[in-house]
Amino acid sequence: MTQLSLDQAKVTSGTETLLGPITLDLNFAGITAILGPNGAGKSLFLALIHGTIASDKGTVLWSGETATTNRASRGYMLQNSVILRRTVRANIDFALQSRGFKNRERGVKIDAALEQAQLTDRADAPAASLSGGELRRMNLARALVTSPKVLLLDEPFAGLDPAASTAMETIITEVGKSTAIFMAHHDLVQTRRMSSYVLFFTNGQLRENAFASAFFSEPQSNEAQQFLQGQLL
């Protein structure tokens, strides 16, 4: 299991508090869903726990190490990742090169990531020729190719048609059996199906953290109850 600990972690912009303060201590495996309405702070929370942005106050630790110093142990898939004007294989290889992996080990890792993402037959195609679902799977492969201990996914299903979404769900669910995943998401039906734990945000505040079964059956906050009923927050 991986431990994530936040102690009064906070992100501000000038005098405005964008996120937090958050105090949280999790020992987890499987898939943790990050839920909340648009603008709740889900993407900002992912950036904070990855160490892409630093906490203005408090601490963010992964198994005792600060998030900003051990980013190499995590894979991070943005909702809109940069696509290089290269082949699918070269796009995935870029993640390994940037982490300093040697030539002799890169080929095996790339082949494994391509197979995991169901893209083996598209390995030498230009990335620009991929469909939306294939591009999303390529970005997932890029996040997985370094064999991360934790995988952070920002809206991995956004904009996908039902078939592409199903393919992506199958892959992520399988990965979640052996890798801890934090996933910002908005589809409640899919979240019920995939996730074991839920972090629920509104207005930059962590309102609830609970096992998924408890969150969906007995939400504790008024905000969560309204959210699950489809009401605007």
CATH tag, 2-81+148-228: 3.40.50.300
> Hunting for tokens 């934090």 — which residue is that?
182
pTM for the predicted model, two decimal places? 0.92
Contact 180, 30 (CB under 8 A): yes
H-type helices in the chain, by residue range?
A: 42-50, 88-98, 103-116, 132-144, 162-175, 188-194, 212-217, 222-228
Whether the pLDDT of residue 98 is over 90: the answer is no
User: What's the rounded Cα separation, in Å, for the pair 153 and 140?
Assistant: 8
CA distances from 62 to 2, 17, 48, 128 (A): 7, 23, 12, 36
- Write out pLDDT tens, residues 102-122: 877 899 999 999 999 999 999
SS3 (DSSP) at 120: helix
User: What's the rounded Cα separation, in Å, for the pair 61 and 1?
Assistant: 14
Whether the pLDDT of residue 134 is over 90: the answer is yes
Structure tokens at 23: 């105090």
Structure tokens at 63: 């198994």
Residue 117 burial (10 A CB sphere; 0-12, 13-18, 19+): buried
Whether the pLDDT of residue 21 is over 80: the answer is yes
Q: Which pLDDT does position 230 carry in this prediction? A: 84
Q: Give the domain ranges of the chain.
A: 2-81+148-228
Structure tokens at 222: 């008024």
Higher pLDDT, 165 or 232: 165
3-state secondary structure 6-28: EEEEEEEECCEEEEEEEEEEEEE
Whether the pLDDT of residue 67 is over 90: the answer is yes
The residue among 59, 36, 1, 18 whose CA lies nearest residue 208 is 36
Q: Which pLDDT does position 1 carry in this prediction? A: 64
